[in-house]
Structure 1
Amino acid sequence: MTDLERELLRAFEQLQTAYETQHQEWQSAYASLQAMFEATQRDNAALSDQVQRLSRQVNDLSEKVSRWTPEGTRR
């Protein structure tokens, strides 16, 4: 093996190692993003349920208040 071939082989091995490192980092980052997305999705669903409950409560209270106001008694 010539000096040039050894040099090219070393360069290729370094590139391969760098690629493998970057690939592992990308996989780790992707897994982290996926976990964050799933957590956000669960949080959003819980918040949506809370908003719906609060909206129903506001509507119920609004109806009750309208019955007790002078405008409500005119109906």
Structure 2
Amino acid sequence: MTGLERELFCAFEALQSAYEQQHKAWQESYASLASMYESTKREAESSREAAKRLTWQVDGLTQQVDGLSKQLEGLTGLVSKLQKKGNTGS
């Protein structure tokens, strides 16, 4: 093997080693990104479910407030009638 052939062979081995290192780093990065994607996907689904539950709770509370408001209006009207009746009866 001549000196030039040895130099070319060493350069080839260096390039091959660099390629293998870069390829391994790329594979590790890809695996990490895939893992982060799956984790983010699960967290997003969990957040969507939590938002649905909160929406249902808010809807239920809104209905309760509306019902209580109507009851209060009825009681206020009744108190007003009783006060008028009491004032006219005196």
TM norm. shorter chain > 0.5? yes
Structure 2 distance, partners of 1:66, 1:24, is 62
Query: Mind listing any 5+ residue stretches in structure 1 that lack a counterpart?
Result: none
From the CA coordinates, give the structure whose radius of gyration is larger.
Answer: 2
Query: 2:13 aligns to what?
Result: 13
Query: Mind listing any 5+ residue stretches in structure 2 that lack a counterpart?
Result: 75-90
What is the 5 A alignment of 1:1-75? 1-69=1-69
* Stretch deviating more after TM superposition (60-69 or 11-20): 60-69
The 4+ residue runs of structure 1 with deviation greater than 4 A are: none
Structure 2 distance, partners of 1:65, 1:54, is 16
Structure 2 distance, partners of 1:73, 1:61, is 18
TM-score, normalised by the number of residues in structure 1? 0.88
Number of residue equivalences: 73
Structure 2 distance, partners of 1:5, 1:66, is 89
